[in-house]
Amino acid sequence: MAPVAPRSGEAVFASVERVNAELFTLTYGAIVRQLLTDLEEVEEVNKQLDQMGYNIGIRLIDEFLAKSNVSRCVDFKETAEVIAKVGLKMFLGVTASVTNWDADGSSCSLILEDNPLVDFVELPDTCQGLYYCNILNGVIRGALEMVSMKTEVNWVRDMLRGDDTYELRVKLLKQVPEEYPYKDDE
Amino acid sequence: MIGVGKIKQYSNVLEKPLSRESRSLSAFAFLFSEMVQYNQTQVDNIAELERRLEDAGYSVGARVLELLCNREKGNRRETRLLGILSFVHSTVWKVLFGKVADSLEKGTEHEDEYMISEKELLVNRFISIPKDMGAFNCGAFVAGIVRGVLDNSGFPAVVTAHFVPMEGQQRPRTTILIKFAEEVLRREARLG
């Protein structure tokens, strides 16, 4: 069978089933609120959000690969483009732009103009250290780990903290070669 | 300081236009499953878990009510029982889940009970309950949303979600049972 061409983010997003954006945003808000009430320490909440995102990411990658038909990315540059244009579009309905590549191509910034998680959100003074969208870090990190890339993802700019846009810095730490659970010669 | 330094965005989050976009169902399903899993680690028993999901839903419901009153109803406030029930059954359901609820019924045994039924709740679509969790229903989240809407409209009620097995269907139907507080019925009787 001829290989199926990869679908654009728009095409995939148009074909998946959808839910109301507000339900999604409000549910995420309820989650953050629960975490703040339980954990009280903003750093703990950040860590927990990242962990939850990681759990989501390791499962999300399967669905992403199944629905989008992207072929194996040649290098990290392509990976970043695919995340920004196809991945984010497919799940969140927004795209990001990829900028600020560093010299050896291992680290870049994803700029989100539109962030669906933060509609209607303002951070009160008591939560100033909170990275509200930290779940995204975990999702990207988890998803990339399942395709053999160990990464570090951090927020550089966050509108809820007063910056002018959302900027995520994604840094490739190393490519882990795939390990098979069985030996070839057995 | 929030609001300082933003060039493109609105200075006040309330002035931002209400968007009408949608997100993917799987993104929501992943998020919801993480929420349930996180809450499972925080509780010892099922009743607590249901209560926590309900509380989460309550905060969603309160906000959805404000949003919808402004957008769909032109800031009109429901004062009658049937009015608020049909608001929940039609408008709220349509906005949140894309369709009106399957049915709205009045309880036969008690005056203060009403039931909204749904063949398959959106939140339960990708969830299966293990046998040892008995009657636990993640629809408690939706029950919380309904309670949030009702409570903040001035109709305090106890809202729970139940599975009702149906013949001929593999998955049981979900019923949201609404039991209104005394004062609501008295007020309704007074209004005639």
| All structural domains of chain B with their residue ranges | 25-191
pLDDT in tens, A165-185: 899 999 988 888 777 777 666
Spatial distance between the Cα atoms of A169 and A100, rounded to a whole number of angstroms: 9
Residue B39 neighbours by CB distance under 10 Å: 21
Which residue in A19, A52, A160 is closest to B28 by CB distance?
A: A19
CATH of the domain at A158: 3.30.1380.20
CA distances from B149 to A69, B108, B124 (A): 42, 24, 20
Beta-carbon separation of A17 and B52 below 8 A: no
Q: Which pLDDT score is estimated for B8?
A: 39
Q: Which pLDDT score is estimated for B9?
A: 46
Spatial distance between the Cα atoms of A166 and A182, rounded to a whole number of angstroms: 43
Quote the domain boundaries for residue A84.
38-175
Average pLDDT over residues A8-31: 87
Flag whether A53 is in a domain: yes
Beta-carbon separation of B13 and A48 below 8 A: no
Beta-carbon separation of A162 and B28 below 8 A: no
Flag whether A14 is in a domain: no
Q: Which pLDDT score is estimated for A6?
A: 65
CA distance A91 to chain B (A): 5
Query: Which residue is closest to B15 within chain A, CA to CA?
Result: A120
**Largest pairwise CA distance in chain A:** 61
Which residue in A21, A38, A60 is closest to B22 by CB distance?
A: A21
Beta-carbon separation of B24 and A120 below 8 A: no
Average pLDDT over residues A103-109: 86
Domain count, chain A: 1
> Which CATH superfamily, name and number, covers B25-191?
Trafficking protein particle complex subunit 3 (3.30.1380.20)
Beta-carbon separation of A60 and B52 below 8 A: no
Flag whether A102 is in a domain: yes
Q: Which residues neighbour A77 within 8 Å (Cβ) at sequence distance 6 or greater?
A: A98, A101, A105, A108
- The H-assigned helical ranges of chain A are 9-15, 21-39, 42-68, 76-82, 88-92, 134-146
ipTM of the complex: 0.87
The tens-digit pLDDT sequence of chain B (192 residues) is 344 433 334 456 666 666 667 888 999 999 999 999 999 888 888 889 999 999 999 999 999 998 888 887 777 788 888 889 988 888 899 888 888 888 898 988 888 899 999 888 888 888 888 888 877 888 899 999 999 999 999 999 999 998 888 887 777 888 999 999 999 999 989 987
Provide the pLDDT confidence category of residue A138 given band limits of 50, 70 and 90. very high
Per DSSP, B165 falls in state -
pTM here?
0.88
Spatial distance between the Cα atoms of B58 and A33, rounded to a whole number of angstroms: 12
Flag whether A156 is in a domain: yes
Flag whether A81 is in a domain: yes
CA distance B122 to chain A (A): 9
